[in-house]
Amino acid sequence: MKLEFENKEGLMCSKCRLLLEPGKAHITYLKSTFPVELLTCPKCGEVYVPEDLALGKMQEVEKNLEDK
């Protein structure tokens, strides 16, 4: 399946020095896992999490899982 986004900014994996490529990653919260499309390193599989994602959806999930 061809993914619909690309690495326009030329982001590289700091460890492998390779250009990140569009790929599928799996996000796991507690017992739920679901796939998302993110830029990943073709060698080590490291995933790039953009800032808006970290401060947006990720934080929203954390808030909803948060305890009192």
Query: Residue 51 interacts with other proteins (CB under 8 A)?
Result: no
Q: Does 20 bind other proteins (CB under 8 A)?
A: no
Question: Would you call 66 helix, strand, or coil by DSSP?
Answer: coil
Give exposure, 45-58, as e/b (b: 16+ Cβ within 10 Å).
eebbeeeeeeeeee
Nearer CB in complex with other proteins: 14/65: 65
Length of the chain: 68
Kindly state the smallest distance separating residue 41's Cβ from other proteins, in Å.
Answer: 17
Which residues lie near other proteins (CB under 8 A)?
A: 3-5, 27, 29-32, 34-38, 53, 56-57, 59-68
